Amino acid sequence: MLLATWNVNSLRARLPRVLEFLETHRPDVLCLQETKTAPGDFPHDELTEAGYVAVDHSTGRWAGVAILAPAAEPPRDVVRGLPGEARPDEARWVEATVARTRVVSLYVPNGRALDSPAFDDKLSFLEAVATRAAALAGPPLAVAGDFNVAPSDADVYDPALFTGTTHTSDDERALLDAVLGTGLVDAYRRLDAVSPGFTWWDYRAGHFHKGLGMRIDLTLLSPELAARCRRCGIDRSFRKGPRPSDHAPLLTELG
């Protein structure tokens, strides 16, 4: 099984690249974040033409998540929204079952600044993720998406620059550790303890081409899936070319 996750920063703007991605990799699952689609405005027809079925959680201008799978093995038993999340209107969590694996596509709030009310929402969202992950433990589970947390200093191009900002704080990392404490495994780090594995680069000042990024998009696997994980990597070609997202897709292969 090939499972991919990608923050596309507007599905409308990125649809040509998403179709290109589906054609190139033919994933068995594609988790999308920041679709920014309004309810009823999700491009189901275009994805159907590409051979995929999507289940989406969409509220309009911001956020928005979805899970795509081939029509032959479509997503089933959809759950929209994360129990206990502070802002249920923001469409940051969707679950579905694909081929006996429970799949989550999530988009953790950015948090803006450590002293912002949005940061409290971010922490409570991560807390709710840990609670839900514990409830889902048992069957094969893959929790994939934009966590908006760099798990360690090795996941940031210059940790000193991020002192006092979001994405690297002790509070965020402690809650991400709580999610991992439910038994989930960070697929990328399990296979590669050294490489940065950046998935996001600022659009500005040529950061991508200078290698100045962060690893904030993760695929977390339940233990039996982690044991089957053969490869996990970033396709940087989708951060290049016409109208790229500021995130690159993360691909995880399960044997």
Q: Going by DSSP bridges, is the β-strand pair 185-186/217-221 parallel, antiparallel, or unpaired?
A: antiparallel
Give 28 or 155: the residue with its C-beta nearer to DNA. 155
Q: State in angstroms the smallest separation of the CB of 241 from DNA.
A: 11
Helix, strand and coil in the chain, % to nearest 5:
35, 30, 40
Which secondary structure element, helix H or strand E, spans residue 6, and what is its range?
strand 2-7
The answer to whether residue 78 forms part of the interface with DNA (CB under 7 A) is no
Q: Minimum Å distance from CB 230 to DNA?
A: 28
For DNA, which residue of 146, 155, 172, 186 counts as binding (CB under 7 A)? Answer: 146
Distances (CA, A) of 32 to 56, 76, 109, 235, 248: 9, 16, 15, 15, 11
| Runs of H (alpha helix) within the chain | 11-25, 44-49, 117-136, 170-180, 187-191, 207-210, 223-228
**Which residue in 5, 59, 101, 148 binds DNA (CB under 7 A)?**
148
Stretch that binds DNA, among 50-58, 66-74, 104-112, 174-182 (CB under 7 A): 104-112
Would you count residue 158 as binding DNA (CB under 7 A)? no
Residue 231 is inside which H or E element, if any? strand 229-234
User: Interface with DNA includes 34 (CB under 7 A)?
Assistant: yes
Assess 174 for contact with DNA (CB under 7 A): no
Footprint of DNA (CB under 7 A): 7, 9-10, 12-14, 34, 36, 38, 60-62, 109-110, 112, 118, 146, 148, 166-167, 200, 202-205, 214, 216, 243, 246
